[in-house]
Structure 1
Amino acid sequence: MINDIAIGGVFIPGLLATALAALVCTLWLLSIFSLSGLYRRLPCRPLIDFSTCIVTFFLLLQALTALGLFA
């Protein structure tokens, strides 16, 4: 169970660490979208960016909960 992560005596909340990991995954996914040419055909890019971040965060939380690392 991850509640806090201690890095050099500084406690980082588990949700913040998960959100940062989701942001990195989102940036990676959006770069793949732009390389494939799919990103150019989407109607509202900022909305797609935001929804991709939310879906990635949700899937990451589901995976961590299923593994028993996040309660």
Structure 2
Amino acid sequence: MINDINIGGVYFPGLLVIALVTLVCILLFVPLFSFSWLYRCLPCRPLMGLSVCIVTFFLLLQGLNALGLLA
């Protein structure tokens, strides 16, 4: 179970915080991908953005779980 995170006395759901971190990562990754010639040749770029978001969210969850930060 993912614990709530206490910031200044306000409890935030753990998945919400991870989703916000994922959003920040996506805002950094997608411009980097746009420099790639392969990314420019894709027929459906929004689908690529969605898949990158899902994979990043999954990797963050797995990494935090491996570090023991999620109980």
Q: TM-score range by the shorter chain?
A: 0.7 to 0.9
Corresponding residue for 2:6?
A: 6
State the TM-score, normalized to the length of structure 1: 0.86
Structure 2 residue runs without a partner (length 5+)? none
State the TM-score, normalized to the length of structure 2: 0.86
Runs of 4+ in 1 over 4 A off after TM superposition: none
Cα distance in 2, alignment partners of residues 8 and 38 from structure 1: 44
Cα distance in 1, alignment partners of residues 38 and 27 from structure 2: 15
Give the % identical residues. Answer: 68
Aligned positions of 1:42-61 closer than 5 A? 42-61=42-61
Aligned length: 71
Corresponding residue for 1:16?
A: 16
Q: Please give the per-residue CA displacement for 1:21-49, whole angstroms capped at 9, x wherever unaligned.
A: 11111121101011334431112111111
CA RMSD of aligned residues (A): 1.7
